[in-house]
Amino acid sequence: VPPILAAIAAAAARAGVRFDDLYVVTGGMPMSEQLVRDWLAVSDQRPVNGWGMTESCGYGLMPLPDPELIPPGSCGVPLPGLDVRVCDPADPTRELGPGARGELQLRGRLVTAGYWNDPRATAEAFTPDGHLRTGDLVSMDEEGFFHFHGRLKEIISVQGENVAPAEVEQLLETVPGIDRAFVHARGTTPGVNLLMAACTAEPGARVDTAAALALCAERLAPYKVPMRLTVVDELPLTPAGKPRRDIDGHAWTRAHQVGRR
């Protein structure tokens, strides 16, 4: 996953080690352009992002052999034999066109036929025409390359609009001084969420939170801009380095705010 690759790149830079003959494919979450630059500082091989799940026998979307042909941020194209489409999560049989974000669906010989001894889970996971609903939010560009935007269950509803936290986190992590970012919702009244963000700083760096939020306002739709960005001493991460979405992000931020304790 990208966080582990980032740790390897940082360790290699400190030790003066290079990986010029190593071809790297990551997955599990979007890969930032900053990580690409960090890896290219210790390798001649551009890292690429793929997509897969257990139900598709591993990878389902893979980059082309030549990384230079892959658009930035893409997780590749479907493997041969896979019927892949992007559909409206609210209407899983309505296919969406290029550029639209929707649920990734798969059908083919590489896809599981169902869940062992669990007909209910199988029925919920498949569309009437046999496509597996992956639960992942993606888009396909005009050239047929897919882009991963996050998990549907992680989507935050803000002002009646859907926000993929990974999209905002990826942009924040391009800001000088920011190491990792974590976007979460703070419920103020029933059914009303405020978008908040926290970040850790790179060693010895100072984060200009105002500049970071200004960048979000410049690049993102208004409802995707966090109300506040707080610098914390650590982020809530899984052992694989992914943000934990199952915790109270506001409480975590208050407890770990730099200078608070």
- Report the pLDDT value the prediction gives residue 260, as an integer from 0 to 100: 58
Question: Given the DSSP bridges, would you call strands 82-88 and 91-95 parallel, antiparallel or unpaired?
Answer: antiparallel
- Report the pLDDT value the prediction gives residue 191, as an integer from 0 to 100: 61
53 bridge partner residues: 58
- Report the pLDDT value the prediction gives residue 186, as an integer from 0 to 100: 87
Using DSSP's 3-state secondary structure scheme, residue 10 falls into helix
Does residue 224 contact residue 193 with C-beta atoms inside 8 Å?
A: no
Question: Given the DSSP bridges, would you call strands 146-151 and 132-140 parallel, antiparallel or unpaired?
Answer: antiparallel
78-152 architecture in CATH?
Roll (2.30)
Q: What are phi and psi of 212, to 5 degrees?
A: -65, -45
Residues 6+ apart with CB under 8 A from 31: 2, 5, 47, 49, 73
- Report the pLDDT value the prediction gives residue 189, as an integer from 0 to 100: 61
**Distance separating alpha carbons of residues 130 and 126, to the nearest angstrom:** 6
- Report the pLDDT value the prediction gives residue 240, as an integer from 0 to 100: 79
Judged on CB neighbours under 10 Å (0-12, 13-18, 19+), 65 is exposed
- Report the pLDDT value the prediction gives residue 242, as an integer from 0 to 100: 84
**Structure tokens, 129:** 């025409």
Does residue 9 contact residue 40 with C-beta atoms inside 8 Å?
A: no
Domain range list for the chain: 78-152, 155-256
- Report the pLDDT value the prediction gives residue 35, as an integer from 0 to 100: 87
156 bridge partner residues: 163
**Distance separating alpha carbons of residues 138 and 100, to the nearest angstrom:** 8
In terms of Cα–Cα distance, which of 259, 256, 261, 204 is closest to 234?
256
In tens digits, the chain (261 residues) has pLDDT values of 888 898 899 999 999 999 999 989 888 887 887 888 899 999 999 898 889 999 998 889 988 767 778 887 888 899 988 999 999 998 999 999 999 999 999 999 989 999 999 999 999 999 999 999 999 999 999 999 999 888 888 888 887 888 989 889 989 998 999 999 999 988 766 566 889 999 999 999 999 999 999 999 999 999 999 999 999 999 998 887 888 888 888 898 999 998 654
- Report the pLDDT value the prediction gives residue 67, as an integer from 0 to 100: 72
| CATH class label, 155-256 | alpha beta
Burial 210-235 (b: 16+ CB within 10 A, else e): eebbebbeeeeeeebbbeebbbbeeb
